[in-house]
Amino acid sequence: MFSFFKINSNIRSIRRYWNIARVLSKYGFDNALEMLGLADMAAKGRRLFRSGALDLSGFSSAERMRMALEELGPTFVKLGQILSTRPDIIPAAFLTEFEKLQDQVPSISFEELRAQIELELGASVEDLFEFIDHESLAAASIAQVHRARLKSGEEVVVKVRRPGVVKLVESDISAMMALAQLAERHVSGSELYDPVGVMREFARSIRREMDFSREGHTIEKFRDNFKSVAWMHFPHVYWSHSSRGVLTMEYIDGIKVSDLSALENAGLDRKLIAKRGADAFLEMVLKHGFFHGDPHPGNVFILPENRICLLDYGIVGRIDESLTSFLSDIIIAIVNRDMDQVVSLLLFAGDISDSLDIRSLKRDLSYFIDGYYEVPLKEIEVGRMLLEFIEIITLYNIRIHPDLMLLAKSLVIVEGMGRTLNPAFDMVEHVRPFMEKAVRRKMSPKNIYKDISTVLSSYTSLASNLPRDLKEIINRLNRNKFKIDLEHRGLDKFNTDFDRSMNRLSSSLILAALIIGSSIIMQTDKGIQFLGFPVLAFIGYVVAGLLGLWLVYAIIRSGRM
């Protein structure tokens, strides 16, 4: 318990940590607290919920964790949503449950938002807008959206960050980071999943999401990437009415891509929309390396002339050149049924454990490819195939770049929308030309020269630095300053239990000494007498009795008789 508070001595409020432990204990995760070295908190949680506890017998551990995250609030809900895209970190059952987490909360009154808008934009709402609807269009844990009209007449939507949300999120991030540090310290094998690294990535993600100016710049980056594509539309950002906490954008009056009857009534071409949507997404991934990370139907609107408009740019993925090359190579190797090449690419690109069973991995990947061997190309769902591939490699604790996970999830959604719009939709036909371009680019003389130059440069740097590094190691050995840091894991709980046992043993010895000493004094007639007995003996018996009662109470209170 001491180590937990020591790590977090700079945190503003300790009550949040207790609340996290309380909720975890409430939903039956005492074992998780004990694994983190918080056995005292787990014991207090058990006592707290011993009477009137929830009946959780009908719920799985994944369902209980989802309910715990929902009770802990918006930051933990966001964490669950991000983890739902990480099959390399959490089991499939938890993935399914975390996908159910909804970032929907009741709207707050506009009067509470008014002060936030005026603080962010430095003017009164009446001076900024000709009209603003006091009823929200949408409400989430971080922001609330209202429709409005500018003084110049443009119809807009105003996204406003909820008051106090930054302070709440920062407090929760600190708590999560402390728990991640405890996991690295106490949980054996946690280094493979890098809990602190995952938390740092989550902190960056949610901080970016709370900075609406970043979202505005993201929209403009997408617009620049597609400036030559007339059928893609991106909302205009009104920077004069935007800041880090307020984002004012063009109001999009379109039809949701999932509203098939409305699309038909408007005379729009569903097959063309499906084709354009797939081409746009693949161009984002394989050409620009920058893609929309949440393209669900609610964020895709169709405008006249079959134009496509994407909304909500809070989550984006990035695929750099090396990851694009890896993706192209792995798909080519799968198509060619080259298991050795697949495994070689995985070993090169992923973080692997020392106990990797390569033979079993090849066998499972062969079964996976055989399952698609005679399937017609138009029936292959590329997104689900990629997810299945990722699921296999994560069984062997091979970690792949998080953006690749986000890409697979997004590809499933885009492919599903395409098949809904056009039952004959074939994603493979859309992927093929992009892959052919990627292969041609990879095999071009210019790219081969670039790769050779990079390798030669790396070896040259290694050769030039090696003598210096060896000299430094030898000098440190000569000066007796060569240090090897050893870190133990899982001994803190043992040390705590050992200290507690020694304290009880010492108390028992003192108790026995008091009883024996008082009994010896009782046999003498020395000192002050009371009712014919030595007062000192009475005092010894009283102290021994109180000490014994305290010791029995402490043992019962700990729950370990």
Q: Are 511 and 544 in contact (CB under 8 A)?
A: yes
Query: What's the per-residue H, E or C state across 247-283?
Result: EEEECCCCEECCCHHHHHHCCCCHHHHHHHHHHHHHH
Separation of alpha carbons 172 and 75, rounded Å: 7
For 328, the token pair is 């192209």
Number of H helices, E strands in the chain: 23, 12
Tokens 């369902």 correspond to 63
Give me the pLDDT at residue 232, please.
96
Give me the pLDDT at residue 158, please.
96
Is the alpha carbon torsion for 393, 397, 399, 404 positive or negative?
positive
Q: What ranges do the domains of the chain cover?
A: 2-102+182-207, 104-181+211-251, 255-439, 444-480, 492-558
The predicted model scores a pTM of 0.70
Give me the pLDDT at residue 42, please.
56
End-to-end Cα distance, the chain: 21
Q: Per the residue annotation, which of 30, 88, 294, 329 is the catalytic one?
A: 294
Q: How crowded is residue 41: how many other Cβ atoms within 10 Å of its Cβ?
A: 22
Let me know if 294 is a catalytic residue: yes
Give me the pLDDT at residue 304, please.
94
Radius of gyration in angstroms for the set of CA atoms belonging to the chain, rounded to a whole number: 32
Separation of alpha carbons 405 and 415, rounded Å: 15
Cα distances from 44 to residues 41, 48, 187, 422, in angstroms, run 5, 6, 21, 57
Q: Measuring CA to CA, which residue among 543, 500, 546, 505 is closest to residue 521?
A: 543
Largest CA distance in the chain: 113
Give me the pLDDT at residue 366, please.
81
Say what angle helices 382-395 and 358-370 make with each other, to 10 degrees. Answer: 160
Cα distances from 408 to residues 84, 295, 437, in angstroms, run 12, 12, 20
Separation of alpha carbons 100 and 526, rounded Å: 78
Low-confidence ranges of the chain (pLDDT < 50): 1-11, 51-52
For 540, the token pair is 């010894």
Phi then psi dihedrals of residue 481, to 5 deg: -115, 15
Give me the pLDDT at residue 159, please.
95
Strand 232-233 and strand 533-534: the pairing is: unpaired
Separation of alpha carbons 284 and 291, rounded Å: 5
Residue pLDDT, tens place only, 7-65: 444 445 567 777 888 888 888 887 777 777 665 655 555 555 554 456 677 788 888 89
Q: CATH number of the domain at 104-181+211-251, please? A: 3.30.200
Residues 6+ apart with CB under 8 A from 421: 257, 260, 263, 270, 271, 273, 274, 277
